[in-house]
Amino acid sequence: MAAYIWRRLVQSIFVLLGITIVVFCVLHLSGDPVQLLVPPSASQADVEQIRQEMGFNDPLYQQYFRFLKGAVQGDFGKSFYYNEPALKVVLDRVPATTELAVVAMIISLVIAIPAGIISAIKRNTVLDMLIRFFALLGQCVPSFWFGIMLILLFAVNLHLTPTGGRSGFASVILPAITLGMFSAASITRILRSNMIEIMGMEYITVAKAKGLTRFSVIMKHAFKNALSSILTMIGMQFAALLGGAVIVETVFAWPGVGRLIVQSITNNDFMVVEATVVLLAMTFVFINFVVDILYGVINPRVRMR
């Protein structure tokens, strides 16, 4: 197990290194990164001075190592807009996004697990068709539109929830449903096909033949085995959630990391954009690392690979 954890750790570190390379390269895609890093009001002389001070005249590899060194030490430069270190600006927004993502994940699991199981055991019934239809729809509806429709219905017409912002539990419900919808749809589809596959296996027939109750066969024997695949899905879905948060937070004026990145792009505050991208990608790598370790605990065969 230790060897497995070690191997995954080394892999994760390589991916993190890769992420810094990608961010660095994308920043240079524009041709002149200095233009992105200075406030729009900066004069030509200022730009030249910053270019010199920040070392943009140095060879690319030197610039990259400086960037990497800063990233490792948590130094992403200073935000022009907030006049604070970029990392601090981002970290201040992390709790809001975490709250949103966790509630969204819970909502999507609460919907997807029963839906997936019912859909599998009631295969080809009207109920199954309905669940499959909604699962497909959930993957087709753009989240920003779904969010706006929810606001129209529940906040504007029924006055049940606030239209946006972060103020107590009522305010997290709509954004979390919006964010969780896509994950719920994906998890339902995967769980359904896994359950159908498992229900056809011999050990399920044996369990049935032993005279176990239907509930016990489904939950203890079939679902327990489908659980490990859901776990990997959850890891992948967190990526979708972190990415989706960018849009959902904008729609609901949720003061999280996602909204911050969109605002910072509008404000031309590139230090913050850079810090946010690196931090979100790091979070994602970390979540996947944890999921892989958990997966190794549940399923010892994985460790051998």
Helix 86-121 crosses helix 126-140 at what angle (to 10 degrees)? Answer: 160
Q: Within 13 A of 17's CA, how many CA atoms are on the CB side? A: 7
Decide whether 74 or 142 has the Cβ nearer to other proteins: 142
**How far apart are the C-alpha atoms of 123 and 117, rounded to whole Å?**
10
Please report how close the Cβ of residue 142 comes to other proteins at its closest, in angstroms: 5
- Paired residues of 78 in beta bridges: 85
Decide whether 6 or 14 has the Cβ nearer to other proteins: 14
Please report how close the Cβ of residue 26 comes to other proteins at its closest, in angstroms: 6
- Per the listing, tokens 């807009």 go with 81
Distance spanning both ends of the chain, measured CA to CA: 12
- Paired residues of 85 in beta bridges: 78
Using left for φ > 0, alpha for ψ between -120 and 50, and beta otherwise, residue 38 falls in beta
Please report how close the Cβ of residue 148 comes to other proteins at its closest, in angstroms: 5
- Which stretches of the chain bind other proteins, using CB under 8 A? 14-15, 18-19, 21-23, 26-27, 29-30, 36, 136-137, 139-142, 144-146, 148-149, 151-152, 156, 239-240, 242-244, 246-247, 250, 261-262, 265-266, 270, 273, 277, 280-281, 284-285, 288
Decide whether 91 or 212 has the Cβ nearer to other proteins: 91
**How far apart are the C-alpha atoms of 63 and 8, rounded to whole Å?**
29
Please report how close the Cβ of residue 25 comes to other proteins at its closest, in angstroms: 10
Decide whether 153 or 219 has the Cβ nearer to other proteins: 153
Decide whether 217 or 261 has the Cβ nearer to other proteins: 261
Q: Are 105 and 183 in contact (CB under 8 A)?
A: yes
Please report how close the Cβ of residue 156 comes to other proteins at its closest, in angstroms: 6
Decide whether 212 or 239 has the Cβ nearer to other proteins: 239
Please report how close the Cβ of residue 238 comes to other proteins at its closest, in angstroms: 9
Rounded-to-10 torsion of CA 157, 159, 161, 167:
130
